[in-house]
Amino acid sequence: MGEIRVNLMTCARVPTAHGEFQLCLFSNSLDEKEHLALVYGEVDSQEDVYVRLHSECFTGDVLGSERCDCGQQLDAAMKEIVHQGRGVIVYLRQEGRGIGLLDKLRAYNLQDEGYDTVEANLLLGHHPDERDYSVAAVILDELNLLSVRVLTNNPEKIEALRKAGITVKGRVPIPVQVTKDNAEYLETKRRRMNHLLPENGLPTSTLSLELDEHSNRSA
């Protein structure tokens, strides 16, 4: 496949309810998708920048669906980044854990029949999670972040960044609200996908959990 390259196409000022961000659009050599970085404050050459890798979720991010926690996490990440004074949300165009919107909706129908989200993806011929974070790592490198703290409940994102040579200094858990429509989904993520959620869906700590400080950015 070779080295992944990204190209910053343009950035624009985007005022939001949480604060004013710069929305930057990147093309890349891996796929034909246009991934985004939502940047708040000065991040170039900065340490311990709060970062979230957020995969596109039309139902959760746009419609506010309560079947998942995606919209909640995006909103919480924006608030926390503004509170910290700087940060980046890499918005990856990989809907439905990478299976696309069509099969995501088909998976919803299977879930309504009693299958969990992992079983539904497998029945549709997919892996439980087909997302790829390699482009996100290159975008972070392009933004010249010296080290990051990752806003996530998913340890796979941290491992992906570390393998790509990003210096990860810690994890910042994201609290999520449990509803009657997402309770089983959150339990499946905790039990079958190793997300760091206790049984009631809320992270056990809101403090940054320190990781291996000796993981260095690759040359």
Which residues are tagged catalytic? 129, 131
Query: Of 132, 66, 65, 59, nearest to 94 (Cα)?
Result: 132
Separation of alpha carbons 170 and 147, rounded Å: 9
CA distances in angstroms from 46 to 37, 62, 91, 145, listed in the order given: 16, 31, 20, 6
The H or E element containing residue 73 is helix 70-84
Query: For residue 111, what are its two tokens?
Result: 């879930």
Separation of alpha carbons 158 and 72, rounded Å: 20
Long-range contact list for 98-107, CB < 8 A, 24+ apart? 98/55, 98/126, 98/129, 98/130, 98/131, 98/132, 99/124, 99/126, 99/130, 101/58, 104/59
Separation of alpha carbons 155 and 162, rounded Å: 11
Buried b / exposed e over 145-154, threshold 16 CB at 10 Å, is bebbbbbbbb
